[in-house]
Amino acid sequence: MHLQKIKRLLHLIEGKQTGKPAELAQKLGVSRRMIYNYFKLVKEELGVPLAFDNYKQSFIFPYSGRICWEFSTKSQKQTPCNQFKNKQLRTLCQLVQLLHMANTGSAKQLATTLHISERTLFNYLDLLKNVFHCPIRFDHQRNSYVFENEGTVNFLWENTDCNLVAQT
């Protein structure tokens, strides 16, 4: 999934360690053209301000804030899914909303609701658990996937620091 590479890209930008586009492409294992596609996605869909710092030779966030692609107990903001043109982001956002409702049904039912295959659903759940650090489990009594803790994942730029769940 491209979302893992975009998360890595955002981490490199945050650390001011991107280098020029050709170097960044090499670090992420993608083409230079793909780097520009990623930049377009993070700017237009996620609202991330980007600039190139000639002194540091790195892309940077020119304004204070960050993108919080981690599960947070402090943020209760729900990202409106219909604003995303990118299918992966839209589906991931819809999945997070369904997890909050705790009425997903079985994996097969959830995949049908999201119009994806079961294999793709499991890839999204794995992404949420292992990349976004979401505490997700299947609750057999509710017959639903649920978040174990209150909180959410916000996919958009925030002007404040993230308050993340402590990773165990």
Tens digits of per-residue pLDDT, 114-135? 999 999 999 999 999 998 899 9
pTM of the model: 0.82
Report the pLDDT averaged over residues 139-157: 89
Lowest mean pLDDT, pick from 1-10, 25-34, 110-119, 154-163: 154-163
* Amino acid present at 27: K
List the CATH code of the domain at 2-63. 1.10.10.10
> pLDDT: is 15 or 154 the higher one?
15
Question: What length does the chain have?
Answer: 168
Radius of gyration of the chain (CA): 17
pLDDT of residue 83: 83
Q: Please provide the DSSP assignment of 30-61 as one string.
A: S-HHHHHHHHHHHHHTT----EEETTTTEEE-
What's at 4, amino acid-wise?
Answer: Q
Task: Give the pLDDT confidence of 47-60 residue by residue, as tens digits.
Answer: 899 999 999 999 99
Question: What pLDDT shows up at residue 165?
Answer: 46
Q: Which token pair is 121?
A: 């659903």
81-158 topology per CATH: Arc Repressor Mutant, subunit A (1.10.10)
What is the sign of the dihedral through the CA atoms of 47, 113, 121 and 70? Answer: positive
2-63 and 81-158: identical CATH topology = yes
Q: Where are the domains of the chain?
A: 2-63, 81-158
What pLDDT is stored for residue 122 in this prediction?
A: 97
